[in-house]
């Protein structure tokens, strides 16, 4: 995406928040993705002096859609009290769905089509849509044409026992038939990432998330979730393990490639429920409302690779591309937030960026992209420990990066993420100094 220097309008992030990210099957077990999205939007509205009717668009990411709320952005917006005159649409791009929501909002602002965008994402894995198998579904549709009661006698003709079993949403890549964990295992082997390396990184993520929670460093992005019917209040994430140790992680068996794989449940992100929301505005509009932006949303891009061989390597392609477009390098980045689908995936991306051979063979560069300073990377924990609601993680990453820029007195932040289908995303934020 082109820099904003040649455009009339600058896009800024003013504020972002999220409800606590919770392990699926826990406190949000009885709630729809719509409910989670509604809470995130209401929380954002409650802490910003923005008249809901002045919002130009609501854009939310989601991945596994509930058929009752296929445009969950619209339903969540209405449920949160946003007027029905405000258009809303939902984006689906796997783990970078809310990254796309932000990017779409930025484009609308840069082109003068909008001044205020509410971008977010929502996901529940506690209540995924389970359907009947295709043959049974065809019978149900056929039954709509039955004219008399005796016609129903032929309903079960040709159906076998397996046709009556429920069908869960596929966890495999449609194009390859391979689950993401298998790809993470093979990629870790390709870049020489050991089981110990992965467990150590996972432990780091959990310990940093626990520390950040204890020290209140996540309070700025967290809003409490009030759960009906008794309106129990949930104030913090419940996925991180402050007692995680190498000994405990070492006892876990390979989860995907058995018996010699290195990816386990302990060094993988877990199924998560949650939602996030942020305000993206045209710079002058934010100032007129008396709001100080946190950061400019500068260059961004989306990339795609072979989902068979490089399913999770998106950031290794997106990061150099976005840095080159701004004339910057990794050393210029004061804050780095990288999505953690698997510890092996993160470490493989870091290895690829720090590899001359990868740069020459895959990026058409003479030298490697460089090394990411671990003291700048995911210092408050990441998806491995905080959780990963597929449609909501992107806004969390950008919100966290913007807050860290201010807290840590930095200038530039880099956010990047991989996604199913062999896709990836990267964006650079510049701290607002106005």
Percent of the chain predicted with pLDDT > 90: 85
Nearest to 205 by CA among 383, 420, 381: 381
Kindly report which listed range (230-234, 319-323, 338-342) carries the lowest average pLDDT score.
Answer: 230-234
Nearest to 369 by CA among 328, 336, 338, 413: 328
Kindly report which listed range (156-165, 300-309, 410-419) carries the lowest average pLDDT score.
Answer: 156-165
58-113 pLDDT, tens digit each: 999 999 999 899 999 999 999 999 999 999 999 999 999 999 999 999 999 999 99
For residue 358, count other CB atoms closer than 10 A to its CB.
Answer: 18
- For position 151, what pLDDT does the model report? 79
- For position 167, what pLDDT does the model report? 83
- For position 4, what pLDDT does the model report? 43
Split at pLDDT 50, 70, 90, the class of 346 is very high
Nearest to 117 by CA among 314, 389, 398, 363: 398
- For position 5, what pLDDT does the model report? 44
Which entry of 40, 95, 255, 275 is annotated as an active-site residue? 95
Q: Using CA atoms, how far apart are residues 93 and 388, in angstroms rounded to an integer?
A: 14
95 given a catalytic annotation: yes
Sketch out the chain's domains with CATH numbers. 4-128+269-427 (3.40.47.10)
Q: Are strands 272-282 and 11-18 parallel, antiparallel or unpaired?
A: antiparallel
Nearest to 101 by CA among 60, 64, 129: 60
Which entry of 418, 420, 426, 428 is annotated as an active-site residue? 418
**CA distance to 87, 102, 251, 386, 405, per residue, from 106 (Å):** 16, 6, 46, 26, 20
Percent of the chain predicted with pLDDT > 70: 98
Token pair for 338: 């990288």
Q: Which helix (H) or strand (E) holds 412?
A: strand 412-419
Residue 391 has pLDDT above 60, yes or no: yes
Rounded mean pLDDT, 25-42: 97
Residue 152 has pLDDT above 90, yes or no: no
Rounded mean pLDDT, 184-203: 97
- For position 6, what pLDDT does the model report? 45
Split at pLDDT 50, 70, 90, the class of 3 is very low
Nearest to 291 by CA among 56, 50, 115: 50
Instruction: Specify whether the CB–CB gap between 87 and 57 falls below 8 A.
Output: yes
384: CB partners within 8 A, 6+ apart: 201, 202, 205, 206, 267, 268, 269, 340, 342, 343
Is residue 259 reached through a cis peptide bond, with omega within 30 degrees of 0 on the bond before it? Answer: yes
156: CB partners within 8 A, 6+ apart: 139
**CA distance to 205, 238, 322, 338, per residue, from 377 (Å):** 10, 22, 17, 7
pTM: 0.94
- For position 120, what pLDDT does the model report? 98
- For position 2, what pLDDT does the model report? 47
Rounded mean pLDDT, 172-189: 92
Instruction: Specify whether the CB–CB gap between 426 and 322 falls below 8 A.
Output: yes
Nearest to 283 by CA among 69, 4, 1, 38: 4
């Amino acid at each position: 995406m082109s820099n904003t220097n040649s455009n009339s309008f600058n896009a800024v992030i003013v504020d972002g928040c999220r409800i606590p990210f919770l392990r699926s099957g826990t406190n949000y077990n009885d709630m729809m993705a719509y409910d989670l999205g509604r809470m995130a939007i209401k929380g954002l509205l409650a802490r910003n002096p923005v008249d809901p009717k002045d919002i130009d668009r609501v854009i939310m990411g989601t991945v596994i859609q509930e058929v009752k709320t296929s445009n969950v952005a619209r339903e969540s917006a209405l449920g949160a009290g946003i007027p029905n005159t405000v258009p809303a649409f939902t984006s689906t791009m796997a783990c970078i769905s809310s990254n796309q929501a932000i990017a779409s909002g930025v484009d609308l602002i840069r082109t003068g089509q909008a001044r205020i965008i509410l971008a977010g994402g929502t996901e529940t894995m506690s209540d995924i849509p389970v359907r009947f198998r295709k043959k049974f579904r065809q019978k149900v549709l056929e039954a709509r044409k039955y004219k008399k009661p005796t016609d129903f006698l032929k309903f079960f003709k040709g159906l076998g026992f397996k046709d009556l079993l429920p069908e869960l949403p596929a966890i495999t890549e449609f194009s390859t038939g391979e689950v993401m964990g298998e790809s993470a295992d093979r990629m870790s082997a390709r870049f020489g990432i050991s089981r110990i390396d992965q467990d150590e990184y996972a432990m780091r993520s959990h310990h940093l998330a626990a520390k950040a929670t204890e020290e209140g460093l996540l309070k700025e992005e967290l809003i409490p979730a009030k759960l009906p019917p008794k309106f129990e209040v949930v104030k913090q994430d419940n996925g991180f393990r402050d007692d995680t140790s190498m000994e405990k992680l070492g006892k876990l068996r390979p989860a995907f490639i058995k018996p010699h794989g290195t990816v386990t449940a302990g060094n993988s992100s877990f199924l998560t429920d949650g939602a996030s929301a942020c305000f993206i505005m045209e710079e002058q509009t934010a100032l007129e409302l008396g709001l100080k932006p946190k950061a400019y949303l500068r260059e961004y891009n989306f990339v795609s690779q072979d989902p068979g061989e490089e399913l999770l390597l998106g950031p290794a392609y997106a990061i150099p591309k976005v840095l080159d477009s701004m004339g910057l390098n990794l050393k210029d980045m004061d804050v780095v937030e990288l999505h953690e689908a698997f510890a092996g995936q993160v470490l493989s991306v870091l290895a690829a960026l720090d590899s001359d051979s990868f740069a020459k063979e895959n990026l058409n560069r003479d030298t490697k992209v460089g090394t990411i300073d671990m003291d700048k990377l995911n210092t408050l924990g990441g998806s491995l420990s905080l959780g990963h609601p597929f449609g909501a993680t992107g806004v969390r990453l950008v919100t966290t990066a913007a807050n860290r820029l201010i807290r840590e007195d930095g200038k530039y932040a880099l956010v990047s993420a991989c996604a199913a289908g062999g896709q990836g995303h990267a964006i650079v934020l510049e701290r607002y100094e106005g």
